[in-house]
Structure 1
Amino acid sequence: MSSGQKAGLLTSKEIQEEAARARQLEQRAMERLAEERRKNNDDDDGEETIYRDSSGRKVDPKLAKAEQARQRKLEIERQERKMEWGKGLVQRNEQDRRRRQLEEEAHKPMARYADDVEYNQGLRDEDRWNDPAAGFLTKKSSTSTGKGKQMVRPKYKGGWKPNRFMIPPGYRWDGVDRSNGYEDQFLLQQNSRKSLAAEAHAWSTEDM
């Protein structure tokens, strides 16, 4: 850019560096301006170039540069505040938690052993997305995790044919029956036996 500032998205470190650079440039410009003013006061006979803007007014280039540096510093500080305000509550809490954790880790010994209670508890409380036993083996209290989360297994939504044990299909089933028909034959034989038994009972008690 014409102002010397980097274009595009900037990290907080780059914005701080830009702010420090702008402050240094402003300080140097003010020092040069004061030095030249002292020289001009000492030597009033020297001719000086007059600069004018588009409207014809006299412009001091040193003051213009100092004002430009000041505006750039204000813009960098505004971007810093904007980035800080743009952080959500969750990100700030996570940043505070990490800072406290680093401070605590700095006072702990370097070596960790198998009987480290805090380390083992942290491993137990960690959520793993691919843990098949997380739903029924891991029992986490609401005080240790802060949330009483419990794993809910998804279920198939839709109609399906009954079987001997009334086991529903998995939630990824596409609805296509790929069996060899044994369940249908088994249930048909069971139903026919029950029907014959009901008929025999009705026939035997018909004269009563």
Structure 2
Amino acid sequence: MADESDDIPLVGEEAPLIDADPELLQAFLQQQRHRKKPTEARDATSDISITQTKSPKSTTTNPPNGAESVPRASSPRKPSDASPVVPTRTTYGLQTAAQLHKEKVSQAQHRKQLMESLDTSVSGRDAATVYRTKTGKVSDMAAQRAEEAARRRREEERLMEQMEWGKGLVQKQDRELKTKRLEDEKSQPLARYANDQELNRELSQRTRWDDPATKFIKNKSTSKPQYPVYQGPTPPPNRFGIQPGFRWDGVDRSNGFESNYFSTQNSRIASAQRDYVYRTEDL
């Protein structure tokens, strides 16, 4: 076997690929032996290493001298058992419109028969619809419908209450009182005499605007609102006579203007009286 440095080509020469025919590579090296220089062996060695490194990647490079490339056999794919394969039954080539339509109908029927032959747990034919929220959580439609009905009922009650307040609370009370009076009249006899106590009591409580004896009636019930008033010690006076609230704790938190105002008024009145007495003492 020749020396390893003798088989190294010169830098710049086109060497065949390593994965090519070994006989062609040996002939090329023999032709380049007489042109080899000792100083270029180191550079040629690095070129050979680079060629060896790149040679496995260049699988698509055409082989030299017109050699035919052998196609690589692709690994067979494993059949998938996840779902059955539906045959396409497609006919290729020049066809008429009737043939294409017939083929399309045949494929549709075949797919329909295949789906009908599948189990319901696989095809999901009779499966219940699952509703989900925006976050992906399964939602109960029956509970949602009940909640929506309750919300709609509360809204209707609110609108009815709003309409009732809009018509007037006093008018509603008058209508209820009138209805009650009519119900009471149904139980009364047809003929009512002067000794009917209930009729006399109703007539005596009726108020007339031109009755001069209205002011003498003592038993009239007044339905005026009663507000709580202040019941503590006497508060300091003010110019407008306003009483403090019933929650006042008796602490004067004013700036003293009211007390100065009344002191000035009292001193002015006292000075006027003193001047009057002084002017009239000689009379």
TM-score by shorter chain over 0.5:
no
Higher relative contact order (CA 8 A, sep 6+): 1
Q: Normalized against structure 2, the TM-score is what? A: 0.23
Q: Normalized against structure 1, the TM-score is what? A: 0.31
Structure with greater Cα Rg: 2
